[in-house]
Amino acid sequence: MSEKKQQVSRRQFLNYTLTGVGGFMAASMLAPMVRFAIDPVLTASTAGEMQAVVDVSEITTDPQRFDWTVEQVDAWYTSDVTHSAWVYKNENDEIVPLSPTCTHLGCSVSWAGNEDYPDQFYCPCHDGRYQKDGTNVADTPPPAPLALYEYEVRDGTLYLGQPVPRGGV
Amino acid sequence: MMKWEADDLPKYFEAKEYIDTVLVPLIPIQLSNEADSLKLANYQKTLQIIAREAERDFAGRMLLSPVYTYVQAASYQKEQERINQWIQLLFKEDFKHVFFLTFDVKWKKEEKGLDGTLLWLPGTVIENYQSVLTKKWINEQTSQLNELIKSFW
């Protein structure tokens, strides 16, 4: 009689509760581990965000160097990393934000860095040179033009994203 | 970027023929007195920032060596011998220019015995690394340091 009334037997009840509690415990242990394992994936998107660099009114037709600092998270270690860009306005009034990283071996180039070439970017390491638009000068070591940053202008401020490499000549 | 890091070293070995300069930061430590320890820890951070900035500009020609750390109360004579041994064993063969970067003025007197060029900068305790003034100061230090290194090339 009484067995008929019991729709859930003691054994079933225990099975359900233990599976439920056990599953909850397993989930609470696994969730942080999964998060931990894919953490770099989750944070990677923030590194690609556009960074405010400079007020557009400061940009002239001569390339100027602007620096900005981003907090970079390398899994366990957070550090401030400084980035730079050489920015100017070309004759069509378009903003040209060039990466300073020499495409030869990664030194920083500077505008008019060599007195002999006042209208070029110059790399002090191995005498690499680039035209004002970033094109590498033939017969100097760099194999490709300087990279151009992704950029956008919001409320009069220049925002820069990632440098985009350009193909070699 | 050429630092003593697993990501950078393959680039170093690939481009070895172009890398002829090494920068070795010399950093003293001590723990006997709180005020001095704080000062040295602060100097260490600042010097590392300046070294990394210099490395950022000269990544394609300069290797930033791991820091040479020594106890401030130790004999500079002995440290100098050990530093020179580092240079002989690690860098002598492949590097034409060896630079030591330090805030420790005591090296100025031992300069001649060092197997490389000493770049001594007067240190300043920095309280706020984010301030505009600090950034400006570090930029100034870095650009003058870079000018100096360039003049040896």
Q: Is residue A43 part of a domain?
A: no
Is residue A36 left, alpha or beta, with left meaning phi > 0 and alpha meaning psi from -120 to 50? alpha
Whether A44 maps to a domain, the answer reads no
Helix (H, G, I), strand (E, B) or coil at B3: strand
- Closest chain A residue by Cα to residue B1: A106
Residue A132: count of CB within 10 angstroms of its CB: 17
Are the Cβ atoms of A125 and B58 closer than 8 angstroms?
A: yes
- Is A28 in the same domain as A82? no
Nearest CB to A107: which of B53, B59, B139? B59
> What integer is the mean pLDDT of A57-81?
84
Mean pLDDT of chain A: 84
3-class SS of residue B82 = helix
pLDDT of A41: 56
Judge whether residue A43 has pLDDT over 90.
Answer: no
Exposure letters B58-89 (e unless 16+ CB within 10 A, then b): bbbbbbbbebbebebeeebeebbeebbebbee
Q: Which residues on A lie below 8 Å from B59 (Cβ)? A: 105-108
Let me know whether A67 and A143 are in one domain: yes
What does the pLDDT look like over B16-43, one tens digit per residue? 888 899 999 999 999 999 999 999 999 9
Give the distance from residue A16's alpha carbon to the nearest chain B alpha carbon, in angstroms: 51
- Structurally, at CATH architecture level, domain B9-142 sits in 3-Layer(aba) Sandwich (3.40)
State residue A168's pLDDT score: 61
**Residue A42 included in any domain:** no
Domain check: are A157 and A74 in the same one? yes
Output the domain CATH number for residue A145.
2.102.10.10
Q: Mark whether A102 and A23 lie in a shared domain.
A: no
- What is the model's pLDDT at position B107? 92
pLDDT at A138 > cutoff 90 = no
Residue extents of the structural domains in chain B:
9-142
Q: How many domains does chain A have?
A: 2
Q: Which chain A residue lies closest to B53 (C-alpha atoms)?
A: A82
The mean pLDDT of A114-128, rounded to a whole number, is 89
- Note the ipTM here: 0.72
Contacts of A105 in chain B (CB under 8 A): 11, 15, 18, 59-61
**pLDDT category, A106, cuts 50, 70, 90?**
confident
Residue numbers in B near A125 (CB within 8 A): 18, 58, 60-62
B146 vs A contacts (CB less than 8 Å): 124
Segment A73-90 shows an average pLDDT of: 84
